[in-house]
Amino acid sequence: MTAILTANNVGMVFQTPDGGSVEAIHNISFTLHAGEIVALIGPSGCGKTTLFNIISGLLEPSRGSFAVEGGDNGQSVGYMLQKDLLLPWRSVIDNVVLGLEVRGVPTSESYPVAKRLIEAYGLAGFENAKPATLSGGMRQRVAIMRTLAFDPAVVLLDEPFSALDFQTRTLLQTDVARIIAEKQKSAILITHDIGEALTMADRVLVLSQRPSTVIRELVIDIPRDARDAVALRSDPRFNDMFITIWNDIQGKAAA
């Protein structure tokens, strides 16, 4: 399998105002393959978002390295945050083209890209709507389109459904996994929801408490096209993996 992203012995230490230091990430290594979704799950404060900031080029690691296909993390990585952060004064289509606009892509090229995404992913007819008129699920669809519009090699999903109700969250988990597969992208998902990780990911990396390291890599051996988010709950394999991950997190937290 083709490696899209490789992390080698990544560590992160922050300096404190009093001259001390805090180690957020001890040692993390993994590979993300083409067309794959990897979920990161672990205790709160274990450094997951810090890891995303390193992958996206917002932070330099204290040690170790990341390699992303294409070479430039800022150009090769798309980042979808917990909040959609749509600009309220801009229409749906103008929010979708925002990243392309920042990169200097002319509207004659960016608008056709946005229109294709909007039509493909269920928002045709809402091109000129303002974010305030959209439901939470629709706003998140706009956010994922904005992330995909500039064609990143890797998509980072930082708890993108955490603010949504259970029904909308469950539907979007399936939708976003499908969209990423259709666009032939690779993605890393941060989540505190074990069920979400098992629904969307091909592999789950369980992280320890801070300073974090990978304590388990779990391959999800259920075909993605058979992972109905509701039906999975009655699959014995789902329950076994859920308990394994839960025990990892709880055992490490207790230690």
**pLDDT over 80 at 230, yes or no:** no
Confidence of residue 40 (pLDDT cuts 50, 70, 90): very high
DSSP strand E in 34-70: where? Answer: 37-41, 63-68
CA neighbor of 61 nearest in space, from 26, 18, 30: 26
pLDDT at site 255: 42
* Cα dihedral 175, 180, 182, 183 sign: positive
pLDDT at site 169: 80
**Could you report the per-residue pLDDT of 173-205, keeping only the tens digit for each?**
877 887 788 778 899 999 988 988 998 899 999
Whole-number Å distance between alpha carbons of 24 and 26: 7
Task: Name which of 16-20, 69-73, 118-122, 173-177 the model is least confident about.
Answer: 69-73
**Could you report the per-residue pLDDT of 41-94, keeping only the tens digit for each?**
988 888 888 998 888 888 899 999 888 875 555 458 888 877 788 899 999 999
Q: Does domain 3-254 have CATH number 3.40.50.300?
A: yes
Helix (H, G, I), strand (E, B), or coil: what is residue 110?
helix
Work out the widest C-alpha separation in the chain, in whole angstroms. 57
**Could you report the per-residue pLDDT of 235-245, keeping only the tens digit for each?**
888 889 999 99
**pLDDT over 70 at 104, yes or no:** yes
Q: Which token pair is 254?
A: 């207790």
Helix (H, G, I), strand (E, B), or coil: what is residue 181?
helix
**pLDDT over 80 at 130, yes or no:** yes
Strands 203-207 and 212-219: antiparallel
pLDDT at site 133: 94
Whole-number Å distance between alpha carbons of 100 and 24: 33
Please count the other Cβ atoms lying within 10 Å of the Cβ belonging to residue 228. 12
Q: 224: exposed, middle or buried (C-beta count within 10 Å: 0-12, 13-18, 19+)?
A: middle
pLDDT at site 25: 93
Confidence of residue 254 (pLDDT cuts 50, 70, 90): very low
Name the percent of the chain lying above pLDDT 70.
Answer: 93
CB within 8 Å of 146: residues ≥ 6 apart: 86, 95, 96, 97, 98, 99
Task: Determine the average pLDDT of the residues in 195-217.
Answer: 91
pLDDT at site 71: 55
Q: What is the mean pLDDT of the chain?
A: 85
One-letter amino acid at 32 equals L
**Could you report the per-residue pLDDT of 151-181, keeping only the tens digit for each?**
888 889 988 877 777 877 877 787 788 778 8
pLDDT at site 72: 53
Strands 37-41 and 186-190: parallel
**CA dist 84 to 130, 146, 148, 172, 180, Å?**
13, 10, 14, 14, 17
Task: Determine the average pLDDT of the residues in 222-246.
Answer: 79
CA neighbor of 138 nearest in space, from 152, 150, 121: 121
**pLDDT over 60 at 207, yes or no:** yes
pLDDT at site 93: 93
Confidence of residue 226 (pLDDT cuts 50, 70, 90): low
Q: Which token pair is 29?
A: 């290594």
One-letter amino acid at 195 equals G
Whole-number Å distance between alpha carbons of 94 and 106: 12
